A and B are shown apart, each in its own frame.
Chain A
Amino acid sequence: MIIPELNSVSYQSTKQLYKPTVLSRLLAFVIDYFIFAPVISFSILMFFRSGFDLYKTFPQSEESQVIFFYLFFGFLILSTFLQAIFITLWGATPGQYALKLRIEFANKDTPLFFQAWFRQLGFACSFLAFGLPLFKTFIDEHGRCFYDKMTDARVVSVVPNEQRHSLQQKHYEQDRKFWLTSMTTLSLFFVVLFAIVFWRGYQNILTSPLAYKKMLNRSKKACQDFADLESTDRLRYKIAMNLVGTVSDECLNQEADFVLWRNFTQDQSLAYFAKFIAASDNSSLDIEYLKESCKTDQGSEGCYWSQVFINRTFNQIDENPEYARSVLGQIISYEMNTDLDQQAKSKIIKNLYAQNKSKSIQKFVILESLSRQASQSRRPASESQSVDETENIKEMIKDL
């Protein structure tokens, strides 16, 4: 469809005003948007440059949220202000001016600029209510929305619609009916779509493991274990607890990255060993990590554990008492050493409990104690009466 060159349309210049079509008003709005949005974005960036720099540097900070709030209102005020200037000078916004539309204000006492600004603010606020107030345009006899009524204004056309749309006049006679039907259908469609998306999203939050994982990562709860320990011990504990499935691979990976990229301590070989443990199945780098752990210091703890894993010498861990006595040594020995009898394993569990006050270790000890008991008779600890260890377990639970 072609909207003719309105400046060259030869219509009788009378004082008669016409009700504009919805298409003209919509097109005027689109033109205004395309003109004002880039100009105002540029202006706001010029005026609030330092605010944007702060937002770029610290996007998650509280200050950035305040800045975002300010910018939103800055955009609102500036855009309506500029439109009000155009309405005062030309009687219309640029888009309306190009389409030969004008805004008529009945109240002649109040300065035109303030009426225009007030009207444009009302128009902008319509979008805060998802543009629903704008639907009044289709229903109202004069096409007036609430902001028009507030300021006693109305949008008029200085060109008769016959001339404006001479090519498809018949179509536009049904303009109101067409828009009402289209918009109702579209609105219903979007409402249903929104409801489906909302419900699916809600269910996803409730049930999805991925969502839960994301939540944990975001709040950093996943890696708060052993936060009060020194870096070296923390790494040892996390490797140990990762081997028994209590600490996640992501958490261990994060800890190893911290040591390698931030801490620069002597624990690097152990961190490489941790990276090997935490590497995913399809990672091509895991063997490289194992090799790297012995590259700088053959006598380091990380290298020692790497060699134990490569050579599978778990039954010889006790030959190096320094490492064997550590939490990591005891856990590896407990989990991997097939030569240990039940008594030796019980001793390790008792040692672990005695030496460590960390909740994760205590929970592990309790679970292991229970499971070892459960293999004999499937009963909860609190109900056990005959086994000597039951009292210990009760005590452990009480301590925890």
Chain B
Amino acid sequence: MIFPGNIFKKIDFDFHPVWVLVAINVAVFLFIQLLVGDTLKNYTNDVYLEKTSKMRELYLQTLDPLEKTQSTEISATSIIRDSKFWYRAENFPFKGDQVKIADSKQFLKELKESYLKSPQFLFGLSPSPTSIWAWITYQFLHTSFFHLLMNMLFLYLIVGVMQTKIDQDWIYAIYVLSGLGGGYAYLWMNPMNEIAVVGASGAICGLMGFMSIAFHSQNMEWSYFLSPVKGYYGIINLPVFLLFPMYLISDFTTVLYYNTGVQSSVAHSAHIGGTLVGCCLGALYLVDQRAKKNILAKWGHHLSHEEFVSLRDKIK
């Protein structure tokens, strides 16, 4: 395995952007888990599998001939996410096992009611968001501990590298703007996907996209793990631009394969949106740096000493 950043370094608890971002994410997770509660946690896999066993039959009946030709991949998960089906199913005259149909409709109704009360809908980003703040709140919300853990690990590693290279204002701006880009891409590619997207992964992909453009020619520390034997795990210096082929291109591949950009529970479309915004910001950062250098070279002698030093310190 190879991770970007130094996973083995001694943890430094100083007030850095990395801890600010991690703290916000963890605090939101704890707030949701302890105070709000998740209304969807009762839907275990067993319940879900039993109740959705004939959902595909129902879904196919609601499709018109054109929609049928376009639907190549129909799984219970994708059906549950389709808001169009939710509305159609309420009054559709389904043919078939009426007992099972009534049971499935009841399940859908209960699931919808639970979902509308869940933190995922209240604070997540969906085609019908509860407020404009959902565009921000979704970036800090995680539905499970593992989801939070993986995102925070990558956030810690990437921001840990970035904070040595750029100002913290840039880091916060990239995080939020990439998150917005990720949310936009998710909504654009999944207009009928009623399930809200949550998580920091779009923003983290944005941070990686930014790095791979802004510092493409530099080397950074990568953590490698080949074996638990001493000497076969450690740190290696490799080019920053490798972030793109190693971590970001796989999202594009997945979106090519799954048109919706959503595979199982991972919103790859949001990753792509975040990556593209991050890359654009990386290009902007390069332009900004070059402009500052030019100004300093051409007009530096007209600046006061303080202005000169201030501008010079902003060039990395």
Chain A residues proximal to chain B, CB less than 8 Å: 1-7, 23, 26-27, 30-31, 34-35, 38-39, 41-42, 45-46, 49, 52-53, 56-57, 98-99, 168, 171-172, 182, 256-257, 260-261, 264, 271-272, 275, 285, 288-289, 292, 295
**Residue contact B99 to A275, C-beta cutoff 8 Å:** yes
Point out the residue from B57, B97, B237 that lies within 8 Å of A6, measured CB to CB. Answer: B237
Q: List 26 A-B contacts (CB under 8 A).
A: A1-B231, A1-B232, A7-B237, A23-B226, A23-B232, A27-B224, A31-B238, A34-B245, A38-B246, A38-B253, A41-B250, A42-B250, A45-B253, A45-B256, A46-B256, A49-B256, A52-B257, A56-B72, A98-B238, A98-B239, A261-B54, A275-B97, A285-B100, A288-B99, A288-B103, A292-B99
Point out the residue from A2, A38, A182 that lies within 8 Å of B245, measured CB to CB. Answer: A38
Tell me the smallest distance from the CB of B58 to a CB of chain A, in Å.
10
| Nearest A residue to B102, CB-CB | A288
Find chain A residues with CB under 8 A from B237 CB: 3-7
Tell me the smallest distance from the CB of A74 to a CB of chain B, in Å.
14
**Residue contact A285 to B103, C-beta cutoff 8 Å:** yes
Find chain A residues with CB under 8 A from B150 CB: none
Tell me the smallest distance from the CB of A63 to a CB of chain B, in Å.
15
**Residue contact B57 to A261, C-beta cutoff 8 Å:** yes
**Residue contact B219 to A27, C-beta cutoff 8 Å:** no
Assuming A27-B226, A39-B245, A182-B227, what are 13 further A-B pairs, CB within 8 angstroms?
A23-B226, A26-B226, A31-B2, A31-B238, A31-B242, A35-B246, A42-B256, A49-B256, A99-B236, A168-B231, A172-B231, A261-B97, A289-B99
Chain B, 201-236, contact with A by CB distance < 8 Å: what is the 0/1 string? 000000000000000000100001011011111111
**Residue contact B236 to A42, C-beta cutoff 8 Å:** no
Find chain A residues with CB under 8 A from B233 CB: 1
**Residue contact A30 to B226, C-beta cutoff 8 Å:** yes
Chain B residues proximal to chain A, CB less than 8 Å: 2, 54, 57, 72-73, 95-100, 102-103, 219, 224, 226-227, 229-239, 242, 245-246, 249-250, 252-253, 256-257
**Residue contact A182 to B72, C-beta cutoff 8 Å:** no
Find chain B residues with CB under 8 A from A289 CB: 99
**A271 to B97, alpha carbons, bound, how many Å?**
9
Q: 5 closest Cβ contacts across the A-B interface?
A: A1-B234, A260-B97, A5-B237, A261-B96, A42-B253
**A272 to B2, alpha carbons, bound, how many Å?**
57
**A269 to B95, alpha carbons, bound, how many Å?**
13
| Nearest B residue to A291, CB-CB | B99
Point out the residue from B95, B97, B229, B235 that lies within 8 Å of A182, measured CB to CB. Answer: B229
Q: Which residue of A261, A292, A295 has the most chain B CB atoms within 10 A of its CB atom?
A: A261
**A45 to B250, alpha carbons, bound, how many Å?**
11
Point out the residue from B226, B231, B234, B252 that lies within 8 Å of A171, measured CB to CB. Answer: B231
Find chain B residues with CB under 8 A from A7 CB: 219, 237
| Nearest B residue to A34, CB-CB | B246
**A200 to B169, alpha carbons, bound, how many Å?**
59
**Residue contact A42 to B246, C-beta cutoff 8 Å:** no
**A34 to B95, alpha carbons, bound, how many Å?**
50
**Residue contact B234 to A42, C-beta cutoff 8 Å:** no
Find chain B residues with CB under 8 A from A98 CB: 236, 238-239
| Nearest A residue to B2, CB-CB | A34
Point out the residue from A3, A30, A168, A261 that lies within 8 Å of B235, measured CB to CB. Answer: A3
**A289 to B99, alpha carbons, bound, how many Å?**
6
**A256 to B233, alpha carbons, bound, how many Å?**
59
Find chain B residues with CB under 8 A from A275 CB: 97, 99
**A241 to B207, alpha carbons, bound, how many Å?**
65
**A341 to B257, alpha carbons, bound, how many Å?**
68
**A56 to B72, alpha carbons, bound, how many Å?**
7
**A182 to B234, alpha carbons, bound, how many Å?**
19
Find chain B residues with CB under 8 A from A53 CB: 72
Tell me the smallest distance from the CB of A311 to a CB of chain B, in Å.
21
Find chain A residues with CB under 8 A from B245 CB: 34-35, 38-39
**A5 to B252, alpha carbons, bound, how many Å?**
31
| Nearest B residue to A95, CB-CB | B238
Tell me the smallest distance from the CB of A81 to a CB of chain B, in Å.
16
Tell me the smallest distance from the CB of A49 to a CB of chain B, in Å.
7
Tell me the smallest distance from the CB of A30 to a CB of chain B, in Å.
6
**A26 to B232, alpha carbons, bound, how many Å?**
10
Find chain B residues with CB under 8 A from A49 CB: 256
Find chain A residues with CB under 8 A from B231 CB: 1, 23, 168, 171-172
Tell me the smallest distance from the CB of B56 to a CB of chain A, in Å.
10
Find chain B residues with CB under 8 A from A30 CB: 2, 224, 226
Tell me the smallest distance from the CB of A166 to a CB of chain B, in Å.
13
Find chain B residues with CB under 8 A from A26 CB: 226
| Nearest B residue to A2, CB-CB | B235
Tell me the smallest distance from the CB of A3 to a CB of chain B, in Å.
5
Tell me the smallest distance from the CB of B51 to a CB of chain A, in Å.
11
Find chain B residues with CB under 8 A from A99 CB: 236
**A34 to B3, alpha carbons, bound, how many Å?**
11
**A27 to B235, alpha carbons, bound, how many Å?**
11
**A256 to B2, alpha carbons, bound, how many Å?**
53
Find chain A residues with CB under 8 A from B249 CB: 38-39, 42
Find chain A residues with CB under 8 A from B227 CB: 182
| Nearest B residue to A43, CB-CB | B253
**A56 to B252, alpha carbons, bound, how many Å?**
18
Find chain B residues with CB under 8 A from A172 CB: 231
**Residue contact B236 to A27, C-beta cutoff 8 Å:** yes
**A255 to B295, alpha carbons, bound, how many Å?**
80
Q: Which residue of A2, A57, A168, A295 has the most chain B CB atoms within 10 A of its CB atom?
A: A2
Find chain B residues with CB under 8 A from A260 CB: 96-97
Tell me the smallest distance from the CB of B9 to a CB of chain A, in Å.
10
Tell me the smallest distance from the CB of A199 to a CB of chain B, in Å.
28
**A56 to B96, alpha carbons, bound, how many Å?**
27
| Nearest A residue to B236, CB-CB | A3
| Nearest A residue to B256, CB-CB | A45
**A23 to B234, alpha carbons, bound, how many Å?**
12
Tell me the smallest distance from the CB of A394 to a CB of chain B, in Å.
45
**A45 to B97, alpha carbons, bound, how many Å?**
40
Tell me the smallest distance from the CB of B198 to a CB of chain A, in Å.
25
Tell me the smallest distance from the CB of A193 to a CB of chain B, in Å.
17
Tell me the smallest distance from the CB of A113 to a CB of chain B, in Å.
22
**Residue contact B99 to A57, C-beta cutoff 8 Å:** no
**A342 to B275, alpha carbons, bound, how many Å?**
81
Tell me the smallest distance from the CB of A292 to a CB of chain B, in Å.
5
